């Protein structure tokens, strides 16, 4: 679990802002659910025989003796909330953001508290919505400037197709039992599809010749999957079919997908999801098809750094004031500027000191400009403005011109009434 320090927060905001904009532009509504849920919810949805439930949940008994868990993911909570609040009477396109908790072995890109932005859609059974949510992710990568993410795609079929496949897979793997690793042998009878995910080299060789689920799909599942693929072709989103993509959570059926990068080391899956048509009913709701995905924000923040995203200066301007009167006026000048320019990021110097020492602080603040108010400026009704990141000289502006100049930085639009009020000198100072 880690702290996110101020210098990193700009990247988080960028990812969160772009995600919110894009999701809102597709008509998705935000939902916020608690971080704690009853443990049973995760057992019943993610599956008893999964790494998450077997080994990774932060579970404890509360004062009533109920077993609660910090949420390891967001899908189960969304389904619970949708059932509980009667949201399933019509289709729902929801998104959420927040911390998730898994007691995994920490390494680069894998943390015990991590953050996801996720999407869950309820009530839409067709391939069109599978396509939509993948196109959302592709748009997000474009907006964030992420290159080199590859989309892997598979269909896990419907439960009966998977059962038939499962029997065949168990028979095949059992006949090669002597070459499988211990974990895979254990999984063989509890969760054999997960054997396909094994990283063990000898097991992988066995898997290479294993029958694939794709060959066991019925007509309807197959055409659903083909529609998703041809939609992606038409949209110009490249993908790779990966028959070994099984996902680590039990609730999936039909379309599953992952976006993977080679730029982040071993933990390269940035986004993952798929369809889970049985889960709502399994958790006590009316039968409702569902599909969704979640993106790992820590991994996206790393990708953003690789994409060379330059974050905005923390503040536009830093106001230095020297001399008793100028210092007394400075906070009120700053307040008037903030009234005129709601988007202005302006830091005022506090604590007095010489011009030299105040300029040092101005420089360290990361501001693009220093605004200078000394006794001479006050006398003449102007403010000095000095670029801190370029070698150009100081200009002198009266209040109206200063506001117009700063509006150019903040992209605030000034309405006529405001500009009229702004004209004039800085020395009408005190706020009422
Ligand atoms: P997941 O594959 O377990 O799926 O997680 C989704 C993403 O969360 C991963 O691809 C990764 O980027 C990030 N992630 C997972 N664990 C960690 C960790 N320990 N540290 C950092 N990042 C991590 C789900 O959670 C499903 N609920 C996705 C979904 C939504 N399926 C349908 N709807």
What atom in ligand 1 is closest to the CA of residue 52? 3
Q: Which residues contact 10 (CB under 8 A, 6 or more apart)?
A: 311, 312, 314
Which range has the worst mean pLDDT, 100-109, 243-252, 297-306?
243-252
pLDDT of residue 114: 98
Q: Are 251 and 205 in contact (CB under 8 A)?
A: no
Ligand 1 geometric centre to CA of 402 (Å):
48
- Provide the angle, in degrees to the nearest 10, between the axes of the packed helices 219-235 and 127-144: 30
| φ/ψ (deg, to 5) at 126 | -85, 170
Report residue 67 CA to chain centroid gap.
Answer: 29
Q: How confident is the model at residue 430 (pLDDT cuts 50, 70, 90)?
A: very low
Q: Are 128 and 303 in contact (CB under 8 A)?
A: no
Q: How far apart are CA 244 and CA 74, in angstroms?
A: 24
- The sign of the dihedral angle between the CA atoms of 239, 244, 247, 251 is positive
Q: In terms of Cα–Cα distance, which of 145, 147, 109 is closest to 11? A: 145
pLDDT digits 0-9 by tens, 145-194: 999 999 999 999 999 999 999 999 999 999 999 999 998 998 888 889 98
Ligand 1 geometric centre to CA of 409 (Å):
38
Please report, rounded to a whole number, the percentage of residues in the chain having pLDDT higher than 90.
84
- Residue owning the nearest CA to atom 13 of ligand 1: 296
Q: Which residues contact 57 (CB under 8 A, 6 or more apart)?
A: 39, 42, 69, 70, 72, 101, 102, 103
Q: In terms of Cα–Cα distance, which of 293, 294, 298, 295 is closest to 264? A: 298
Give the bridge partners for 116, in sequence order. Answer: 98, 296
Ligand 1 geometric centre to CA of 405 (Å):
45
Ligand 1 geometric centre to CA of 182 (Å):
26
pLDDT of residue 358: 97
For a mutational test of ligand 1's pocket, the pick from 270, 296, 299, 300, i.e. the residue with the most ligand atoms closer than 8 A to its C-beta, is 296
Which range has the worst mean pLDDT, 104-113, 307-316, 338-347, 371-380?
307-316
The token duo for 328 is: 């007394």
Ligand 1 geometric centre to CA of 202 (Å):
27
Ligand 1 geometric centre to CA of 272 (Å):
6
- Residue owning the nearest CA to atom 14 of ligand 1: 296
pLDDT of residue 349: 97
pLDDT digits 0-9 by tens, 36-72: 999 999 999 999 888 999 999 999 999 999 999 999 9
State the pTM of this model: 0.90
Q: How far apart are CA 257 and CA 250, in angstroms?
A: 14
Q: Which residue has the tokens 């006794």?
A: 375
What atom in ligand 1 is closest to the CA of residue 118? 30
Strand bridging mode 369-373 / 240-241 = unpaired
Query: CB within 6 Å of ligand 1 — which residues?
Result: 73-75, 102, 104, 109-111, 114, 116, 118, 120, 248-249, 269-274, 292-294, 296, 298-299
Ligand 1 geometric centre to CA of 269 (Å):
8
What atom in ligand 1 is closest to the CA of residue 76? 27
């Amino acid at each position: 679990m880690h702290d996110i320090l101020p210098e990193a927060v700009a990247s988080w905001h960028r990812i969160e802002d772009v995600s919110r904009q894009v999701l809102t532009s597709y008509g998705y509504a935000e939902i916020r659910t608690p971080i704690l849920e009853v443990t049973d919810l995760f057992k019943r949805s993610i599956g008893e025989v999964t790494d998450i439930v077997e080994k990774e949940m932060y579970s404890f008994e509360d004062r009533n003796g109920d077993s609660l868990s910090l949420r390891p993911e967001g899908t189960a909570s969304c389904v619970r909330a949708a059932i509980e609040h009667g949201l399933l009477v019509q289709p729902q396109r929801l998104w959420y953001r927040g911390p998730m908790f898994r007691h995994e072995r920490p390494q680069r890109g894998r943390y015990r508290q991590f953050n996801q932005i996720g999407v869950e859609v309820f009530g839409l059974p067709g391939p069109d919505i599978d396509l939509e949510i993948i196109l959302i992710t592709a748009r997000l990568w474009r907006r964030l400037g992420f290159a080199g993410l590859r989309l892997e795609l598979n269909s896990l079929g419907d439960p009966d197709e998977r059962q038939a496949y499962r029997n065949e897979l168990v028979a095949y793997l059992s006949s090669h039992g002597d070459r499988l690793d211990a974990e895979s042998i254990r999984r063989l009878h509890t969760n054999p599809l997960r054997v396909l995910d094994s990283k063990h080299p000898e097991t992988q060789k066995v898997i290479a010749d294993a029958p694939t689920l794709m060959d066991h799909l019925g007509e309807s599942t197959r055409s659903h999957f083909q529609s998703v693929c041809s939609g992606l072709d038409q949209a110009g989103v490249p993908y790779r079919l990966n028959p070994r993509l099984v996902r680590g959570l039990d609730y999936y059926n039909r379309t599953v997908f992952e976006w993977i990068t080679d730029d982040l080391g071993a933990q390269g899956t940035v986004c993952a999801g798929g369809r889970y048509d049985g889960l709502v009913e399994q958790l006590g709701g009316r039968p409702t098809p569902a599909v969704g995905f979640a993106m790992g924000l820590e991994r996206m923040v790393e990708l953003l750094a690789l994409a060379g995203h330059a974050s905005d200066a923390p503040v536009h301007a830093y106001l230095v004031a020297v001399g008793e009167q100028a210092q007394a006026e400075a906070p009120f000048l700053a307040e008037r500027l903030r009234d005129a320019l709601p988007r202005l990021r302006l830091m005022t110097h506090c604590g007095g000191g010489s011009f030299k020492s105040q300029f040092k602080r101005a420089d360290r603040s990361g501001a693009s400009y220093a605004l200078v108010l000394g006794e001479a400026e006050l006398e003449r009704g102007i403010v000095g403005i000095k670029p801190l990141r370029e070698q150009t000289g100081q200009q002198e502006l009266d209040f109206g011109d200063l506001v117009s100049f700063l509006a150019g930085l903040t992209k605030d639009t000034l309405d006529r009434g405001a500009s009229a009020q702004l004209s004039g000198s800085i020395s009408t100072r005190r706020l009422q």
